[in-house]
C-alpha cells in the first residue's frame, strides 16, 4: 500500500510539472537506475552483447543499455501523466501510419489481433481505439507488485481500453473478435506457457503462440504495431502490414510460421532503434 501512495504522489507531481521537465526527469531517473540496479544492468548488457555482436565496443553497448533504462523512466512518467494528457488536446499528439491496414482488416468483419512489444511507450497504444474509432481490449500479464499492477489497470481503464478477464481469456478473445473488435497481445517476452521457439536475434526464443492460434481459429487479421516519440514531441504510431496465414501447411506449421513472421518484424524494428526496447528481461533460455 505504501508503494501505491508513492506512485499516486508521483502522478500528482508529474501532472503539475511542465511536459519537458517531467520527461527529462523521467529519463534522468531511468539512467540513474542503470547505475544503481546492477542486476538488471547485467541482464541488459548480456542481452545486447549476444544480440548485437556487431556493436563490439563496451562504450556503445553501455550507451544503448543506459538509454534503454532512460526510456523506461520516461515511460513511467508518461504513464503517470495520463490524467493530465487526456485533459488536454491529446488527439493532436499522435501521428498514425498504416491506418489503411486496419480499415482493410476491419472490412472483413473478423476482428484484429494486434501483436505489440515493449518498444517505445507501448502503454500509449491504448489510445488508438478512441483515436481511430474502434473497439479495443488488452490482454496483459499481472505484475508482481500489486501497487504497480493496480495503477496500470486503472490507467488503461481511464483511457477507455477494455481489459479481458484472465479467468476466461480464451473465450473473451474469441467473442471480442467475433464482434469485429481488436485485441492487443504483448508477444515479445519469454513465454512459459503456450510457447514455441522461434529465431530472435539469431537465437531461439520461447515465444507465445497465442496470437497465431487465435488468428487461425477466428480468421482475425494479425497486425504488428509500434509507437515511439518523435523529435517534435509527437507520438508516431506504425501499423504494419498484416501477417498472412500461410497456405498449404499443417496447423502446427502455420502457428510456427506466423509466430516466426511477427517476431521477425519485432526484430527489424528493434534493430533500427535498439534503445527503445526492453532489454532488462531474460528473453532467451540458456
**Three-class secondary structure assignment of the chain:** CHHHHHHHHHHHHHHHCCHHHHHHHHHHHHHHHHHHCHHHHHHHHHHHHHHCCCCCCHHHHHHHHHHHHHHHHHHHHHHHCHHHHCCCCHHHHEEEECHHHHHHHHCCCCCEEEEECCECCHHHHHHHHHHHCCCEEEECCCCCCHHHHHHHHHHHHHCCCEECCCCCHHHHHHHHHHCCCEEEEECCCCCCCCEEEEEECCEEEEEECHHHHHHHHHCCEEEEEEEEECCCCCEEEEECCCCCCCCCCCHHHHHHHHHHHHHHHHHHHHHHCHHHECCCCCCCCC
Q: Is position 283 within any domain?
A: no
Predicted structure pTM score? 0.93
Domain count, the chain: 1
Structural domain includes residue 247: yes
- Domain region containing 129: 2-276
Model pLDDT, residue 232: 92
Query: Is 56's pLDDT higher than 80?
Result: no
The answer to whether residue 129 is domain-embedded is: yes
pLDDT of 191: 86
Answer yes or no: is 286 within a domain.
no
Read off the pLDDT of residues 189-239 as tens digits, 9 standing for 90 and up: 998 888 999 999 999 999 999 999 999 999 999 999 999 999 999 999 999
Counting residues of the chain whose pLDDT is more than 90, the rounded percentage is 75
Would you say residue 285 has pLDDT above 90?
no
Q: Does the pLDDT value for residue 51 go beyond 70?
A: yes
pLDDT (tens digit, 9 = 90+) per residue, 109-132?
A: 999 999 999 999 999 999 999 999
Is 285 inside a domain boundary?
no
The answer on pLDDT for 244 being more than 70 is yes
Grade residue 158 by pLDDT with cuts at 50, 70 and 90.
confident
| Residue 159 is assigned to a structural domain of this protein | yes
Q: Is 166 within a domain? A: yes
* Domain assignment of residue 41, yes or no: yes
Amino acid at each position: 500500500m505504501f508503494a501505491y501512495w508513492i506512485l499516486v504522489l508521483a502522478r500528482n507531481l508529474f501532472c503539475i510539472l511542465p511536459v519537458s521537465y517531467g520527461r527529462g526527469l523521467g529519463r534522468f531517473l531511468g539512467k540513474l537506475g542503470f547505475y544503481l540496479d546492477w542486476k538488471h544492468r547485467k541482464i541488459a548488457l548480456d542481452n545486447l552483447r549476444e544480440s548485437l555482436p556487431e556493436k563490439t565496443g563496451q562504450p556503445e553497448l553501455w550507451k544503448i543499455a543506459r538509454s534503454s533504462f532512460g526510456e523506461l523512466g520516461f515511460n513511467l512518467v508518461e504513464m503517470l501523466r495520463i490524467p493530465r494528457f487526456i485533459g488536454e488536446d491529446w488527439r493532436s499528439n499522435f501521428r498514425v501510419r498504416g491506418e489503411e491496414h486496419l480499415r482493410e482488416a476491419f472490412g472483413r468483419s473478423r476482428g484484429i489481433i494486434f501483436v505489440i512489444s515493449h518498444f517505445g511507450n507501448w502503454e500509449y497504444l491504448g489510445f488508438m481505439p478512441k483515436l481511430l474509432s474502434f473497439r479495443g481490449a488488452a490482454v496483459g500479464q499481472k505484475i508482481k507488485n500489486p501497487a504497480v499492477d493496480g495503477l496500470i489497470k486503472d490507467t488503461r481503464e481511464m483511457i477507455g481500453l477494455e481489459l479481458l478477464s484472465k479467468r476466461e481469456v480464451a473465450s473473451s478473445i474469441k467473442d471480442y473478435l467475433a464482434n469485429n473488435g481488436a485485441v492487443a497481445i504483448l508477444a515479445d517476452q519469454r513465454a512459459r506457457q503456450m510457447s514455441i521457439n522461434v529465431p530472435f536475434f539469431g537465437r531461439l526464443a520461447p515465444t507465445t503462440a497465442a496470437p497465431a492460434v487465435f488468428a487461425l481459429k477466428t480468421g482475425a487479421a494479425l497486425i504488428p504495431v509500434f509507437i515511439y516519440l518523435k523529435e517534435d514531441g509527437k507520438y508516431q504510431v506504425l501499423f504494419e502490414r498484416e501477417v498472412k496465414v500461410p497456405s498449404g501447411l499443417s496447423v502446427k506449421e502455420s502457428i510456427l510460421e506466423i509466430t516466426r513472421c511477427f517476431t521477425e518484424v519485432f526484430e527489424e524494428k528493434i534493430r533500427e532503434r535498439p534503445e527503445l526496447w526492453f532489454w532488462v528481461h531474460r528473453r532467451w533460455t540458456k
